[in-house]
Structure 1
Amino acid sequence: MNEQQLYTALSTSADITQIVNSDDIYSGYLPESAKLPAVTFYYVSSDPDNTLHDGYTGHALSRYSINVWSKSYPQIQELRAAVKAAMAGHVLQSDIPLHEPDNQLYRFVLDYTLYD
């Protein structure tokens, strides 16, 4: 799955778009002017697929970080579950809470390994 396919998977998920407008799904970092709730994702790294005989196959295991953002704790849990449902069948590497309750900002970082 490449970056465009990841965006398509997130922006066409009915579970996600019931919570987040598809205009609020961003490749890269969260814009300062973004409305919440929102989803961001970005490429982290890749492990190229190689064979002993031919070398690089043109494929890789790529790691992407998907971040879900909200001003409400119940809503962030719902959005987190929606992303996990949309990404079912892919390897979830980590699920990290990075909340800022003093600012009423809730965030989870979900790292996935995707085969491209």
Structure 2
Amino acid sequence: MRQIILLVLLFVVGQWLVKALRRPDARTSSRAGGQPGANGAGQSSSNRAANGAPGPNGNARGTASRQLPEPMIRCAECGVHAPKSDSVMFDGQPFCSAAHAQRYAARVEQTKGRDGR
């Protein structure tokens, strides 16, 4: 009976330690020496969230700090999806690279040359 109680007690203490180590506020306050104002320790959680600093659970809660994922485009040449900022536009078509845009342009020129004969 003592062994079961000891195991339950060790389990409870272990769970408490794991939760205590995962708390970001516990780590930052111990590093800052508990000084108010260091790493946002003196600010309320709403002020930290508005500034984009991590909230009580470690996540930045401010809407200004959230970024939407970048839109993806589908390459007209190979069909690969690439970020819009990395894409190349040619003749109104999106491409994943300049090489694919050039290959598309060459193919269009060839078809125009055949039609002109």
TM-score by length of 2: 0.21
| Higher RCO (C-alpha under 8 Å, 6+ residues apart) | 1
Q: State which structure, 1 or 2, has the greater radius of gyration over its C-alpha atoms.
A: 2
Structure with greater strand share of residues = 1
Structure with higher helix content: 2
